[in-house]
């Protein structure tokens, strides 16, 4: 039965891939791109060398003209999508969910990328992106570091009710170490919390989505950071033991996941305690109803690291539960023993990376899994960082809509990841012309789109940066609605009950 399902999924995938290749070939088979291919970087460098030797000059205006034609073609592509929906109709994956959830480690589904898997990756990526869109980054706000919205209105406020999930709990975190750029703090003296940050949420698929995806899906989404230039400075880089075995993980990640303090309002219990308590209740509730349950943990950047720690702990509490991690731009978290323990516990991990992104190379830029080839000489090095799971590697240069260059913040941003996933077909194929996601979303918090599209950088912000005109015409900061003021989580006395 399982073999038949896998073959069905693979055959479906091959047919879809053949159709996509036909579309892409016909779409990009024009004189503009053929001409531009003649002016590849290698060709230009070679031409310049020969020209210098012969004291000739390259016809620069012709190259400029070609690039102008190419950029104009990009604008035409973008304009042609303005009246089209931003997502495809949902397809039933109830008979295929185990493969899409990583049951076979996504074998034969990543390159080329199966269209059903692409849609699910984007869904979980948007859950991770939501942790940024709903986060109060305003250091002049008394609620800086909290969520802008209450649990009931969360997905509606962010336009994500289409996915069919309901938020069940918010998660708060703190750190016993000083990690100033990972946890935001307010300049206001009388603030909602001096120690904690809103760090994510637990959500559950509703009945309609549950029928479509073939099981009750419990999701944990962890918030990360979008400032990769500060990672090296802030990261502790020390490995600490996790559990009783040889597994070790990065000290700063573990501190955020496990820290608590009785004197705080929001972290009398740790982020770990809050999440695991909620997961225990939800899994028990739906299992007792006879439902099939899965756990999907997602996060971007730092959030991807916390997702792996969460998965490790969940695999101990729920040894038979299907657990998958979908991370975006996540760093290395632990050593080879940590990786091996996750594998032996059945945790499936899919990490999406961008070739030009710096964060997935950290920590362990030098001492990492590449040293494994020298194990015969060095033995297993327990202090060397290792990535976990399968990798889907993207490339900024694949999209005609993105700028080239060293915009490290823009490259690392989750919206850039989602854009590249939406257009990804395979490692040898160009950006797919029928990508659905709105290209303008890329510039929400950065400046990555080519200027010809005329999408302003960092356009996603509150009107007047949150200020409103009061009854006498003065611009003031409004009070938050009472239902959006953060409430301390319910303290768990005993997670084993």
pLDDT tens digits, residue range 67-97? 555 566 777 777 777 766 666 678 999 999 9
Q: Which whole number is the average pLDDT over 484-491? A: 80
* Position 32 confidence tier, pLDDT thresholds 50, 70, 90: very low
Q: Nearest CA to 327 among 72, 121, 184?
A: 121
Q: Would you give the DSSP letter of residue 449?
A: B
User: Which of 172-181, 188-197, 276-285 has the highest mean predicted lDDT (pLDDT)?
Assistant: 276-285
Among this protein's residues, is 301 annotated catalytic?
yes
Angstrom distance (rounded) from CA 177 to CA 259: 9
pLDDT of residue 29: 46
* Per-residue pLDDT at 118 exceeds 90: yes
* Position 461 confidence tier, pLDDT thresholds 50, 70, 90: confident
Both tokens assigned to 19: 């159709």
User: Which of 179-188, 333-342, 481-490 has the highest mean predicted lDDT (pLDDT)?
Assistant: 333-342
Tell which wins on pLDDT, 453 or 465: 453
pLDDT of residue 491: 58
Angstrom distance (rounded) from CA 44 to CA 414: 33
Domains of the chain: 90-394+462-484 (3.40.50.1820)
E strands present in 289-382: 293-300, 323-328, 334-335, 348-354
| Candidate list 133, 195, 273, 357, residue with the active-site label | 357
pLDDT of residue 13: 53
Tell which wins on pLDDT, 83 or 11: 83
* Per-residue pLDDT at 54 exceeds 70: no
Strand pairing partners for 2?
none
Q: What contacts 265, CB < 8 A, 6 or more positions away? A: 193, 196, 488
Helix or strand (DSSP H, E) at 13: helix 2-28
Q: Which whole number is the average pLDDT over 290-299? A: 98
* Position 14 confidence tier, pLDDT thresholds 50, 70, 90: low
SS3 412: helix
| Candidate list 163, 387, 412, 413, residue with the active-site label | 412
* Position 428 confidence tier, pLDDT thresholds 50, 70, 90: very high
Predicted TM-score (pTM) above 0.85: no
- Are residues 355 and 427 in contact, defined by beta-carbon separation less than 8 angstroms? no
| Candidate list 301, 315, 399, 429, residue with the active-site label | 301
């Amino acid at each position: 039965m399982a073999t038949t399902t896998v073959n069905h999924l693979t055959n479906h995938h091959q047919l879809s891939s053949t159709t996509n290749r036909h579309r892409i070939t016909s779409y990009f088979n024009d004189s503009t791109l053929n001409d531009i291919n003649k002016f590849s970087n290698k060709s230009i460098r070679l031409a310049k060398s020969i020209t210098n030797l012969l004291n000739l000059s390259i016809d620069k205006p012709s190259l400029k003209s070609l690039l102008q034609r190419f950029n104009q073609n990009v604008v035409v592509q973008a304009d042609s999508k303005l009246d089209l929906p931003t997502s495809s109709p949902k397809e039933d994956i109830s008979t295929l969910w185990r493969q899409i959830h990583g049951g076979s480690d996504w074998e034969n589904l990543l390159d080329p990328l199966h269209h059903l898997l692409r849609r699910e990756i984007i869904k979980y990526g948007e859950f991770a992106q939501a942790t940024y869109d709903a986060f109060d980054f305003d250091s002049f706000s008394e609620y800086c570091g909290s969520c802008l919205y209450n649990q009931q209105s969360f997905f509606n406020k962010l336009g994500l009710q289409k996915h069919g999930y309901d938020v069940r709990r918010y998660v708060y975190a703190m750190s016993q170490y000083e990690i100033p750029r990972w946890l935001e703090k307010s300049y206001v003296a009388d603030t909602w919390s001096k120690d904690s940050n809103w760090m994510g949420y637990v959500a559950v698929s509703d009945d309609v989505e549950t029928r479509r995806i073939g099981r009750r899906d419990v999701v944990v989404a962890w918030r990360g950071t979008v400032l990769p230039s500060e990672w090296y400075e802030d990261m502790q880089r020390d490995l600490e033991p996790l559990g009783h075995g040889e597994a070790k993980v990065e000290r700063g990640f573990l501190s955020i996941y496990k820290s608590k303090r009785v004197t705080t309002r929001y972290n009398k219990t740790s982020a770990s305690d809050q999440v695991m308590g909620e997961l225990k209740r939800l899994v028990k509730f739906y299992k007792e109803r006879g439902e099939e349950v899965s756990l999907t943990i997602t996060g971007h950047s730092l959030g991807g690291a916390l997702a792996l720690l969460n998965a490790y702990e969940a695999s101990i509490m729920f040894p038979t539960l299907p657990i998958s991690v979908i991370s975006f731009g996540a760093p290395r978290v632990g050593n080879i023993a940590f990786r091996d323990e996750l594998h032996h516990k059945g945790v499936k991990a899919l990490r999406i990376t961008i070739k030009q992104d710096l964060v997935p190379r950290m920590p362990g830029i030098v001492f990492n899994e590449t040293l494994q080839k020298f194990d015969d000489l060095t033995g297993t090095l327990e202090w060397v960082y290792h990535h976990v799971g399968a990798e889907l590697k993207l490339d900024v240069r694949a999209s005609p809509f993105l700028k080239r260059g060293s915009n490290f913040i823009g490259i690392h941003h989750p919206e850039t990841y989602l854009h590249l996933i939406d257009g990804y077909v395979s490692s040898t194929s160009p950006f797919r012309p029928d990508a659905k996601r709105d290209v303008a979303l890329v510039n929400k918090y950065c400046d990555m789109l080519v200027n010809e599209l005329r999408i302003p950088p960092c356009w996603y912000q509150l009107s007047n940066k949150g200020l409103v005109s009061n009854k006498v015409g003065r611009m003031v900061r409004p009070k938050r609605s009472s239902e959006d003021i953060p409430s301390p989580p319910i303290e768990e006395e005993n997670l084993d009950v």
